[in-house]
């Protein structure tokens, strides 16, 4: 798929979910790198940084996207010729895609251990990582039941219930606002993440924080399934995760909206759940309390402190 088509598909949410977005962007960059005509190293780098910028601008909240792009681009920073850069980039892109898929399998194994036989689980939105845990628990013979929310306005809950249904898991489909009503029946809330900050706050689909608040009130555990590349290194320097606000036409039909004179349609796609409302974050390297998020950023993302200062598109000065 072409670079511009992938960027458009991510922006329009035909490709969605933080892990899938990252893999699709890396695949598009890999294809783009392979099809670029032979050139000198500087031209190759410039074209790749331009392509990375196009993809990186598509959805601002999923930290998986800049993290993945930065990881694969670092392969061409060290190369000495355009040919080396191209093959190093290809290899690094393959590694990213492989390890991203492997991470989901590891998270499934670890997450399933935190699900007990007989558990009723509430999930929100459509997270590949969270669903992998649920499906693995079911596969290992635990009898579980799931409550899945609708996820207004884009209805990702329909994708979730299709997956759960196909896996043969007993599922209840509820509107988003019924989450607190059903919380007394829930043993565990299990969701994914678009970003995890250094203090362990979890950024996920709008409504997650309300669910976590209701879970906290009911003393129900909240578990988040998140690959290490969803942790946000720059939050160490106090940078905030940008919350994407999407067009109001996702909320109301335009012909109805056009009749309104004093109403503004507000459509944030994500919200922030504070670490106090999160019990555990399951990553591919183990399950941690949110307070240990810094360890993941330091040990597993392996960013040096000076790298935090730079955007993932390297300036010309940095290239010299």
Spell out, one character per residue from 290 to 309, where the chain touches ligand RUB: x when CB under 6 A holds, - when not. --------------------
For this structure, is 166 an active site residue? no
Q: How far is CA 224 from CA 11, 43, 75, 198, in A?
A: 25, 42, 31, 15
Closer residue to ligand RUB in complex, CB, 19/290: 19
Residue with tokens 């990553």: 283
Q: 3, 6, 19, 63: which one contacts ligand RUB (CB under 6 A)?
A: 19
- Under the criterion CB under 6 A, does residue 128 sit at the interface with ligand RUB? yes
Tell me the pairing of strands 286-288 and 280-283: antiparallel
Closest distance to ligand RUB from the beta carbon of 127 (Å)? 3
Closer residue to ligand RUB in complex, CB, 5/43: 5
Token pair in block for residue 206: 């709008």
Residues in 186-215 at the binding interface with ligand RUB, rule: CB under 6 A? 192-194, 204-205
How many other CB atoms are there within 10 angstroms of residue 288's CB atom?
17
**What angle is formed at CA 13 by the lines to CA 88 and CA 250, rounded to 5 degrees?**
155
Closer residue to ligand RUB in complex, CB, 269/297: 269
Closer residue to ligand RUB in complex, CB, 48/122: 122
Closer residue to ligand RUB in complex, CB, 245/307: 245
Q: How far is CA 270 from CA 18, 195, 235, 260, in A?
A: 12, 10, 17, 25
Closest distance to ligand RUB from the beta carbon of 184 (Å)? 24
- Under the criterion CB under 6 A, does residue 129 sit at the interface with ligand RUB? yes
For this structure, is 125 an active site residue? yes
How many other CB atoms are there within 10 angstroms of residue 56's CB atom?
20
- Under the criterion CB under 6 A, does residue 33 sit at the interface with ligand RUB? no
Residue 87: name the closest of 49, 24, 48, 30 by CA: 30
Closer residue to ligand RUB in complex, CB, 126/220: 126
Interface with ligand RUB (CB under 6 A), residue total: 16
- Under the criterion CB under 6 A, does residue 67 sit at the interface with ligand RUB? no
- Under the criterion CB under 6 A, does residue 269 sit at the interface with ligand RUB? yes
Q: Which stretch binds ligand RUB (CB under 6 A): 14-22, 40-48, 68-76, 249-257?
A: 14-22
Closest distance to ligand RUB from the beta carbon of 170 (Å)? 22
271 beta partners: 204
The dihedral sign for the CA sequence 4, 68, 228, 198:
negative
Residue 229: name the closest of 127, 157, 147, 301 by CA: 301
Closest distance to ligand RUB from the beta carbon of 209 (Å)? 12
Q: Which residues, in sequence order, are CB contacts of 47 under 8 Å at separation 6+? A: 32, 36, 39
Residue with tokens 């699900």: 115
Tell me if 89 sits within 8 A of 35, measured CB to CB: no
Spell out, one character per residue from 140 to 179, where the chain touches ligand RUB: x when CB under 6 A holds, - when not. ----------------x-----------------------
57, 117, 119, 125: which is the annotated catalytic residue? 125
Residue nearest to ligand RUB (CB): 192
Tell me if 220 sits within 8 A of 187, measured CB to CB: yes
Which secondary-structure segment (H or E) carries 145?
Answer: strand 145-149
Closest distance to ligand RUB from the beta carbon of 46 (Å)? 30
Q: Provide the edge-to-edge strand list for the sheet that holds 195-196.
A: 195-196, 202-205, 270-273
- Which positions are catalytic? 125, 194
Chain residues that interact with ligand RUB, rule: CB under 6 A: 16-20, 125, 127-129, 156, 192-194, 204-205, 269
């Amino acid at each position: 798929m072409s670079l511009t088509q992938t960027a458009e598909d991510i922006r329009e949410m035909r490709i969605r979910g933080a892990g899938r977005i990252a893999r699709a962007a890396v695949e598009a960059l890999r294809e783009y790198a392979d099809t670029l005509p032979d050139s000198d190293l500087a031209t190759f780098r410039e074209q790749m940084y331009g392509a990375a910028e196009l993809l990186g601008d598509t959805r601002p909240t999923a930290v998986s996207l800049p993290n993945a792009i930065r990881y694969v681009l670092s392969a061409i920073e060290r190369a000495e010729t355009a040919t080396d850069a191209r093959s190093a980039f290809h290899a690094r892109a393959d590694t990213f895609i492989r390890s991203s898929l492997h991470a989901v399998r590891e998270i499934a194994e670890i997450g399933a251990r935190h699900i007990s036989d007989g558990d009723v689980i509430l999930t929100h939105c459509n997270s590949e990582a969270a669903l992998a845990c649920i499906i693995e628990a079911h596969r290992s013979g635990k009898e579980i039941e799931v409550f899945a929310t609708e996820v207004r306005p884009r209805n990702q809950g329909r994708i979730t219930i299709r997956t759960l249904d196909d896996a043969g898991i007993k599922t209840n489909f509820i509107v988003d606002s019924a989450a607190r009503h059903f919380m007394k029946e829930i043993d565990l809330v299990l969701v994914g993440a678009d970003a995890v900050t250094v203090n362990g706050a979890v950024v996920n689909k709008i409504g997650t924080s309300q669910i976590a608040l209701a879970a906290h009130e009911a003393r129900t555990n909240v578990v988040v399934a998140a690959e290490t590349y969803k942790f946000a290194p720059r939050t160490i320097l106090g940078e905030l995760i940008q919350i994407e606000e999407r067009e109001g036409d996702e909320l109301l039909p335009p012909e109805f909206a056009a009749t309104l004179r004093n109403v503004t349609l507000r459509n944030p796609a994500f919200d922030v759940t504070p670490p106090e409302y999160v019990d555990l974050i399951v990553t591919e390297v183990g399950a941690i309390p949110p307070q240990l998020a810094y360890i993941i950023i330091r040990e597993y993302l392996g960013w040096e402190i000076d790298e935090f200062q730079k955007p993932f598109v390297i300036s010309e000065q940095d290239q010299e």
